[in-house]
Structure 1
Amino acid sequence: MTEKLPKPQRVLYVVSRFPWTSTTFTTNEMAVIAGEGVQVFVAPVWKTPADHTPHALEKPFLSNIIRPQWKSPRTWWRIIKGLFRRPQVIGVIAQMVPGHLISPYLPFKLLASIPKGIFLGQWCVENQIDHIHAHFLTSPTTVALIASVVSGVPYSYTAHAFDITSQHPKSINGSIPLKCLRAALGVTISEYNRRYLLEHWPEISRARLEVIYNGIDTGMFQVNGVHTADNRPRRVLSVSRLEAKKGQDILIKAVALLREKGIDVRLDIWGDGEQRHTLQTLIDSLGQGEFIQLHGPIVQEALVEEYRKADIFALASVLLPWGDADGLPTVLIEALAVELPTISTQVTGIPEIIRQYQTGLCVPPGDVDRLADAIEWMLNHPSESQAMGQQGRQLVIEQFDRRHNAKHLLSLWRELHAQRTEG
């Protein structure tokens, strides 16, 4: 007789968007969970642009995307059934209202989340879902909470970055304590985030909050080859969305400064976003169009080769005035996994992976001169830089491997469900 797998066996992930290039950490986690015999479904809260191309890791989950069809009577029938099933959900929603009045945008996000959450709650009942997990403590966790109340299925969340730190009216989060306290389990991606949550909302200390780093496929990101050619520009690589918190303007200025000093270096930036035109204008104004280039979006499969062709990886993340910042960028983990000498900034959880003179160099955010100095130091100290890359890969294998970290999350879920069964 086949031994029955422990719960959860069917998990619903609630995410902001899916498929979505900049959240490969979620897909990495789902891939491992699915590989452990768990059936994974995905419910995106917001629509993905029609021209978005899924990467290979996302494709196995495309057939398991759950979206309410608002023109379908069946969708609204599910919502009605969900309300009758757990009318107390109205009281829980009422508790969330005050926390969503701190910004003119939040009430609309809550209004959009309510029918989605009720729909998913009823869908969970009909499809025997064991567990709900949300990535980001914003609307996905709001939806997960509502779905949990309707279905009786426990939920957990992973908090990342802006979802706990941003004070911008468009991205500020609401009802954080309520969402954390009602969750069966809270997870965040860095020790910095854990400290931040407990310092700003001390009442969360009553809930369970674990740190699990984002993980990558360390088998996919293999060791970088050593460059020996001396007759070419040294290549700095950066990969990110082109938005203010990534600090790409700082990196562009730093590389331009090095070129003004006569250092033969070029910068290749992969990614797209709202700042692309602004950054291109900056590059042109510096007269560096030949040596500093924006290449646009890139799929993960092609990105591996870009890491291997580079001499240095740099990400100049900054803390924006309203608190938005990177959490712990996956690209830093990927760069270290191929032993690529890596430079970043002293922002949020980044120093937990870029450990000064051990796994890379961390400079103050927004400091063009210090960033340029760090790049120059690495170019002039190849042996030391290579040693940092080697230590970086070892750290990634020990603490940022997707298999280990996702299995740890799954073990926590199973522990919760075992306790519920015993209770």
Structure 2
Amino acid sequence: MKIAFLVGAFPSISETFILNQITHIIDEQHTIDIYASRPQNLTTVHPDVETYQLLDCTQYYPPMPTNYLLRSLKALLLVLKGCLTDPVLIFRSLNVWRYGKQALSFRLLYAVIPFLKQRPTYDVVHCHFGHLGILGSQLRDIGAVQGKLCTTFHAWDITEYLTEAGVDAYRQLFSKGERFLPISHYWQNRLIELGCPAHKITVHHMGIDCDQFLWIARQIQGDEPVQITTVARLVEKKGVEYGIRAIAQLKNCASPVKYSIVGDGPLRDSIEQLITELDVGSMVELVGWKSQDEVIEILNQTHLLLAPSVTGQKGDQEGIPVALMEAMAMGLPVVSTHYSGIPELVEHDVSGFLLPERDPDAIAEKLIYLIEHSERWVKMGQSGRAYVQSHFNINQLTQQLIRIYN
């Protein structure tokens, strides 16, 4: 099959789940093209981007200025140049009466540029995130691209995005798209509430390659500290603040505790300030961004994985965090939040514990319990590994996705 992927910034170090899906489809001998926004940083990329030569099959939309005047001036140049190649597509992309804000904001114009030299036909046009499903539907409608339209919904696109775009934002997409793939049953129900026909929906998890993650029996060696780790971007929905507040309650724990936060992001300064305010600098370490191999090495030395996810002030939620899948595949007991699709991955009191949002007291209580009952770690780790292998194995999920495409 020939498959087009419409994605956001690519490659993105925070969206390895999309990269994994693409590379495993290539492994099945299918041909792919990627249409994306150019990332701000191309110096730090996943090794698979080079291994699979993905930049060679990626076409980028022209960067779109945030300032509307500059965007309009650049749009004028794009129109003048584009009319020399395919004036029909150019003027269709500017049809405000049909495409509304997408045309008025010039988003559709900027998106059509990679399709001007040829109007490609694919077996499937797979859009990641709902707003790109809208874009894919409109690109197909104006004749820029052909193929069955498949849209994966993650979480942001049916939470925070809709607070700005409105609950009817996907009405046309639901009507015209062939298949919709929420990453959890939780989000399937939300799509149905929004008006998506149930017969067009197939729950399709994002997954990991379990073979890349070695299972290790977690045990305390001698008088070493209990190592707790969070792997997350430093953004609100990751709930790192509540992890730190919980760790602060473990100062007088019978066993010494170390807490490592692997990741970076816009909240780094405020998190550093919180560490100082709570006087937990000796317990908490901000490790910063690390490559996947480095993360695996850190998790090899970890006893417990903490993922205290929360709903952001604008409604944004997690999907099912890949960091949780990877940790469970490596045999780590996990402590996370009972919300979104996480309960579809973590079995409470079996592979870990699921707690209310924004509750550092509850987090601290369960961490203390796990520290005092380390004899449960191995069995919890076995349960987690088995569940990830059965339900979130990228090899099985790739076969399922190909069946969906067909």
TM-score relative to the length of structure 1: 0.85
The answer on whether the counterparts of 1:359 and 1:391 sit within 8 Å (CA) in structure 2 is yes
Partner of 1:182: 176
Matching of residue 392 in structure 1 with residue 399 in structure 2:
no
Question: Paired residue for 1:54, among 32, 45, 57?
Answer: 45
Partner of 1:163: 157
| CA distance in structure 2 between the partners assigned to 1:259 and 1:220 by the alignment | 35
| CA distance in structure 1 between the partners assigned to 2:211 and 2:6 by the alignment | 27
Farther off after superposition, 259-268 or 397-406: 259-268
Partner of 2:17: 25
Shift of 1:385: 2.7
Matching of residue 82 in structure 1 with residue 89 in structure 2:
yes
Shift of 1:224: 2.2
Partner of 1:145: 137
| CA distance in structure 1 between the partners assigned to 2:308 and 2:395 by the alignment | 28
Judging changes above 3 Å, is the alpha-carbon distance between structure 1 residues 30 and 393 closer, same or farther for their aligned structure 2 residues? same
Partner of 1:418: none
Partner of 1:301: 293
Matching of residue 358 in structure 1 with residue 350 in structure 2:
yes
The answer on whether the counterparts of 2:94 and 2:108 sit within 8 Å (CA) in structure 1 is no
| CA distance in structure 2 between the partners assigned to 1:263 and 1:123 by the alignment | 65
Query: Secondary structure of 1:258's partner?
Result: coil
C-alpha offsets along residues 6-38 of structure 1, whole Å, 9 cap, x if unaligned? xxx221111111010111111111011111111
In structure 1, what residue type is equivalent to 2:247?
Answer: V
Question: Paired residue for 1:196, among 190, 193, 198?
Answer: 190
| CA distance in structure 1 between the partners assigned to 2:35 and 2:403 by the alignment | 22
Q: How is 1:114-125 mapped onto 2 (pairs within 5 angstroms)?
A: 114-122=108-116, 125=119
| CA distance in structure 2 between the partners assigned to 1:119 and 1:340 by the alignment | 46
| CA distance in structure 1 between the partners assigned to 2:158 and 2:174 by the alignment | 11
Partner of 2:314: 322
The answer on whether the counterparts of 1:360 and 1:385 sit within 8 Å (CA) in structure 2 is no
Matching of residue 374 in structure 1 with residue 380 in structure 2:
no
The answer on whether the counterparts of 1:238 and 1:269 sit within 8 Å (CA) in structure 2 is yes
Question: Paired residue for 2:124, among 127, 131, 146?
Answer: 131
Shift of 1:290: 2.1
C-alpha offsets along residues 198-240 of structure 1, whole Å, 9 cap, x if unaligned? 12x13x1265011011110111012024334131211001011
Shift of 1:112: 4.2
The answer on whether the counterparts of 2:258 and 2:284 sit within 8 Å (CA) in structure 1 is yes
Question: Paired residue for 1:35, among 1, 17, 27?
Answer: 27
Query: Secondary structure of 1:287's partner?
Result: coil
The answer on whether the counterparts of 1:25 and 1:330 sit within 8 Å (CA) in structure 2 is yes
Count of aligned pairs between the two proteins: 388
Farther off after superposition, 324-333 or 63-72: 63-72
In structure 2, what residue type is equivalent to 1:80?
Answer: P
In structure 2, what residue type is equivalent to 1:82?
Answer: L
| CA distance in structure 1 between the partners assigned to 2:295 and 2:125 by the alignment | 31
Judging changes above 3 Å, is the alpha-carbon distance between structure 1 residues 233 and 124 closer, same or farther for their aligned structure 2 residues? farther
TM-score relative to the length of structure 2: 0.88
The answer on whether the counterparts of 2:343 and 2:354 sit within 8 Å (CA) in structure 1 is yes
Question: Paired residue for 2:148, among 142, 149, 154?
Answer: 154
Unaligned runs of 5+ in 1: 1-8, 101-106, 415-423
Query: Secondary structure of 1:130's partner?
Result: strand
Shift of 1:147: 2.2
Shift of 1:320: 2.2
Question: Paired residue for 1:279, among 267, 271, 279?
Answer: 271
In structure 1, what residue type is equivalent to 2:129?
Answer: F
The answer on whether the counterparts of 1:120 and 1:147 sit within 8 Å (CA) in structure 2 is no
Judging changes above 3 Å, is the alpha-carbon distance between structure 1 residues 174 and 260 closer, same or farther for their aligned structure 2 residues? farther
Unaligned runs of 5+ in 2: 64-76
| CA distance in structure 1 between the partners assigned to 2:387 and 2:250 by the alignment | 30
C-alpha offsets along residues 252-295 of structure 1, whole Å, 9 cap, x if unaligned? 01011111445411100011111000000100111111220111
The answer on whether the counterparts of 2:3 and 2:31 sit within 8 Å (CA) in structure 1 is yes
The answer on whether the counterparts of 1:225 and 1:308 sit within 8 Å (CA) in structure 2 is no
